[in-house]
Amino acid sequence: MMKNVHLAPEADEDDLYSGYNDYNPTFDTEDLENDPAFQQAVKTSHGRRPPFTAKVPGTSSSRTLATGYGSKTTLSSSIGRPVTAAVQDGVARPMTAVQAAGYTKASSRGAVFDPLGQARGPAPPLETKNEDSPEGKIKQLEKKVNELVEESSIAHSCGDLKLALEKAKDAGRKERALVRQREQTMSPANINLDLTYTVLFNLASQYSANEMYAEALNTYQVIVKNKMFVNGGMLKVNMANIYLKQRNYSKAIKFYRMALDQIASVHKEMRIKIMQNIGIAFIKTGQYTDAISSFEHIMSTSPNLKAGFNLILCYFATGDRDQMKKAFQKLIAVPLDIDDDDKYISQGDDAHTNLLIEAIKNDSLRQMERERKATAEKYIMTAAKLIAPAIETSFAVGYDWCVDVVKTSQYVELANDLEINKAITYLRQKDFNQAVETLKMFEKKDSRVKSAAATNLSFLYFLENEVTQASTYSDLAVNTDRYNPAALTNKGNTIFVNGDYEKAAEFYKEALRNDSSCTEALYNIGLTLKKLNRLDEALDSFLKLHAILRNSAQVLFQIASIYELMEDPNQAIEWLMQLISVVPTDSHALAKLGELYDNEGDKSQAFQYYFESYRYFPSNIEVIEWLGAYYIDTQFCEKAIHYFERAALIQPTQVKWQLMVASCYRRSGNYQKALDTYKMIHRKFPDNAECLRFLVRLCTDMGLKETQEYATKLKRVEKLKEIREQRIKSGRDGSARTRRDGSASGDASYLDPLGPQAERPKTALRKKVDEDEFADEDLGDDLLPE
């Protein structure tokens, strides 16, 4: 650092203005009063002689004249006074003899005239500032405070609220130290109020962002109470916002009004926003009349969409039909201040104009206009759906009024959308015929509306399982607008139902190409690939959809199902666990988890999830059967009785559940209860051989007289059973001979009357119950062998 410091030279250099204070002592008038010779001369006649008169050069005094060769002669005045700038005794007389001019040193004879000091060389470098001085320390501290405020703001904009608050606190501490140091070294008038205001305001903002509302309010209060801050009163708006977040609506209204009183009328936009907040606070407190006053003032002064929509809400809450209509008309009349779409359509062949239109077609201003228009349409559509059932006797008449009002406004295109919403409202009311009639009105409208109506009609017919009509309207929707992803998805659905999975997948893929966010098409692609047994591709589709819809129960279940088909039970269990974290009361998912754990041999976990499934849905026969069999396996037959009785209530015509109840009584040693149960079963199902066998066995063991009666009935039932089996066998043999003779060669495609349900696999415990319950042999043993 010291290498850049240059010391001033010690030797004196020639001074341009030196020598001007040197003069002949003869002309010194300062000590004339003390000069005895001068005083004596004044008193004599010599001092009263007239002064010398000027004489022509060459008469009385000689002057040094310069010749053509540069020689010089001394010039003198008439009284012997040297001429200005003349050289006398080797010293040049200065151009003035005034000491106040700053001429201090005599110059040598023949000095060069250099007024700018160019002959002296470069000037010495500036001396370094002393940062240890009080002023330097204050400036450094002030700079550090500004840097901390900037860092706090940047951290807040990046979302790091905790760091932003720490920086703001640090800035506050350093700013207070700065104020104390200023008070010690300078006058209080030199305190930087702008910096203090900035630090406090930033600190309060960071407190509010971190939801530390009490600290934020205290900080804002410090600013507001300090009269030295000119615009501190405007921060009462921020305080009111905090009270609004705390749901302290009365204080919020109070501070909003205090801020409104301190804001000048020239700040019109700010005053309108505060009035809007006051109206919202009144809505929160249920004071709709006061809220209406605020919003009516806004709509009469500076109408905007939010105020108009809130005004409709207030009138809807009060039930004023006429005012609802007027407020809706005011909302429709709010100017959007955006350009027409025709501005962005090329009108000629001018290359420069077309290039300009192409450049502004999707710029930031155009995007802002689209967002504003979309927001306006959303408010109008929502308001129409809200007030339509309330302004007239029926919602259909109310919708018609809203449509008529919209058709006469700048939102003509919304009229068709309102009609489609009318049809959707019919759907929600389960009035499908009215919905279809409303949608069919759009078949002759423009392409966009026709495509939307046809898409909804296709969806309706698909829900009603009228696939042909659904296919017809889906074709109409696709032909009208080939880029409509919903229409393409509906068309794919109709093909999917018909079993053409490859073609359905093509339509789903086209829908995704037109709109990559069409989650319905992506889900259906996964189902189609699953049907085609392309499990890896199906899994990829569902995983992509899971990245979009993180908490979709359907997607999670499909992923688990695919992992089960891929024989990866661990992954299937993991995804099912995620599923029940989203929908913990889904009995089917819980039962599936129990089934997977049962297949893995973990009976305790399987019982836990089967029991949870039964608790949420106690009518699932498969779950009831598994739980009953589990208790029988664990030798808790008394507990199994409850589940089999539940199954008997659900399926009263199935004798096996009642037989299982009686079996549980017999296993637990309650033979009398078992005998009563078997007798009850015999009265309901007199031809059931199983029941008669157990009655014969129990009556024999208990020594009852009914033994012979039940034995006779058992023989009759068994004989009838043999006769029935012989008839069935003879019928089958006859059919076989007929087929061999060729009389029924056209019936080769025989269909199993049970259908695909006959091949449905069963769980191990369920299969064990079925096999052992109907065993005809060893009656002395338990129904379920070890």
Q: How far apart, in whole angstroms, are the C-alpha atoms of residue 175 and residue 144? A: 9
Residue 89's pLDDT band, with cuts at 50, 70 and 90, is low
Please give the C-alpha separations between residue 25 and each of 33, 40, 95, in angstroms, as whole numbers. Answer: 15, 19, 18
- Three-state SS annotation for 574-608: HHHHHHHHHCCCCHHHHHHHHHHHHHCCCHHHHHH
Taken in order of first residue, the domains within the chain and their CATH numbers are: 446-511 (1.25.40.10), 618-727 (1.25.40.10)
Whether the pLDDT of residue 69 is over 50: the answer is no
Please give the C-alpha separations between residue 108 and each of 18, 19, 24, 111, in angstroms, as whole numbers. Answer: 9, 9, 17, 6
Q: Which of 7-16, 368-377, 520-529, 591-600 is predicted least confidently?
A: 7-16
Q: How far apart, in whole angstroms, are the C-alpha atoms of residue 620 and residue 637? A: 20
Q: How far apart, in whole angstroms, are the C-alpha atoms of residue 310 and residue 329? A: 13
The whole-angstrom distance between residue 621's C-alpha and the CA centroid of its chain comes to 44
Report the 10 Å Cβ neighbour count for 270: 15
**3-class DSSP state of 127:** coil
Q: How far apart, in whole angstroms, are the C-alpha atoms of residue 667 and residue 57? A: 163
Report the 10 Å Cβ neighbour count for 536: 9
Report the 10 Å Cβ neighbour count for 242: 21
Q: What is the pLDDT of residues 626-655, one digit of tens each?
A: 999 899 888 888 888 889 989 988 888 888
Q: What is the pLDDT of residues 438-474, one digit of tens each?
A: 777 776 666 667 778 888 888 888 888 888 888 888 8
Q: How far apart, in whole angstroms, are the C-alpha atoms of residue 365 and residue 607? A: 63
Of the candidates 525, 519, 524, the one whose C-alpha atom is nearest the C-alpha of residue 551 is 519
Yes or no: say if 92 and 111 are a contact pair by the CB < 8 Å rule: yes
Of the candidates 169, 170, 152, 174, the one whose C-alpha atom is nearest the C-alpha of residue 161 is 152
Alpha-carbon dihedral 774, 777, 782, 785, rounded to 10 degrees: -80
- What is the pLDDT at residue 698? 84
Q: What is the pLDDT of residues 289-332, one digit of tens each?
A: 999 999 999 999 889 999 999 999 999 999 998 999 999 999 98
Higher per-residue confidence, 430 vs 475: 475
- What is the pLDDT at residue 709? 84
Listed in sequence order, the residues at least 6 apart from 341 whose beta carbon sits closer than 8 Å to its beta carbon are: none
Residue 62's pLDDT band, with cuts at 50, 70 and 90, is very low
Residue owning tokens 């007027």: 326
Whether the pLDDT of residue 105 is over 60: the answer is no
pTM for the full model? 0.54
Helices (H), 44-104: none
- Residue 540 burial by Cβ neighbours in a 10 Å radius (0-12, 13-18, 19+): middle
Yes or no: say if 217 and 239 are a contact pair by the CB < 8 Å rule: yes
DSSP string, 698-764: HHHHHT-TTHHHHHHHHHHHHHHHHHHHHHHHHHHHHHHHHHHTTTTGGG-S---TTGGGGG----H
Q: What is the pLDDT of residues 165-207, one digit of tens each?
A: 999 999 999 888 888 888 787 666 667 788 889 999 999 999 9
Whether the pLDDT of residue 745 is over 70: the answer is no
- What is the pLDDT at residue 771? 31
Q: What is the pLDDT of residues 200-232, one digit of tens each?
A: 999 999 999 999 999 999 999 998 888 888 878
Yes or no: say if 491 and 507 are a contact pair by the CB < 8 Å rule: yes
Q: How far apart, in whole angstroms, are the C-alpha atoms of residue 306 and residue 705? A: 90
Whether the pLDDT of residue 9 is over 90: the answer is no
Residue 279's pLDDT band, with cuts at 50, 70 and 90, is very high
Q: Which two tokens stand for residue 38?
A: 């001068």
Q: How far apart, in whole angstroms, are the C-alpha atoms of residue 194 and residue 190? A: 11
Yes or no: say if 237 and 256 are a contact pair by the CB < 8 Å rule: yes
Higher per-residue confidence, 364 vs 503: 503
How much of the chain, in percent, has pLDDT values that exceed 70?
75
Residue 68's pLDDT band, with cuts at 50, 70 and 90, is very low
**How many residues are recorded in the chain?**
786
Residue owning tokens 């809706």: 328
- What is the pLDDT at residue 783? 26
Q: How far apart, in whole angstroms, are the C-alpha atoms of residue 507 and residue 514? A: 11
Q: What is the pLDDT of residues 753-767, one digit of tens each?
A: 223 333 323 222 323
Q: Which two tokens stand for residue 745?
A: 């060669």
Residue 26's pLDDT band, with cuts at 50, 70 and 90, is low
**3-class DSSP state of 466:** coil
**3-class DSSP state of 88:** strand
- What is the pLDDT at residue 126? 65
Average pLDDT for 374-379: 89
Report the sign of the C-alpha dihedral through residues 538, 543, 548, 549, in that order.
positive
Residue 776's pLDDT band, with cuts at 50, 70 and 90, is very low
- What is the pLDDT at residue 290? 93
Of the candidates 412, 411, 417, 374, the one whose C-alpha atom is nearest the C-alpha of residue 399 is 417
